[in-house]
Amino acid sequence: MTLPPAFLSICYFGCIDNRYSHYVAVAKYRKGVSKAVSFIGESLRQLLVDVVSETAKKALFP
């Protein structure tokens, strides 16, 4: 099966360059960033809970 010329082009080094790979890369990047943001947010929340609970313990039981 051959692809239409609008889909593929030859890059400077003679390799086949997919013009639409940029859109796939952007979609994967956005998906990864959204997962990372939720992971970082949860980690920061847990850190805050740990710090506040330790501070409360030290204030109540010196």
Q: How many CB atoms lie within 10 A of CB 18?
A: 14
The average pLDDT across 15-35 equals 73
Domain ranges across the chain: 25-62
What is the DSSP-derived secondary structure letter of residue 5? T
Distance CA 22, CA 39 (A): 26
Torsion of CA 23, 24, 25, 30, to 10 degrees: 90
Percent of the chain predicted with pLDDT > 70: 65
pLDDT for 1 beyond 50: no
pLDDT for 50 beyond 80: yes
pLDDT of residue 36: 82
- Read off the pTM: 0.48
Distance CA 2, CA 49 (A): 58
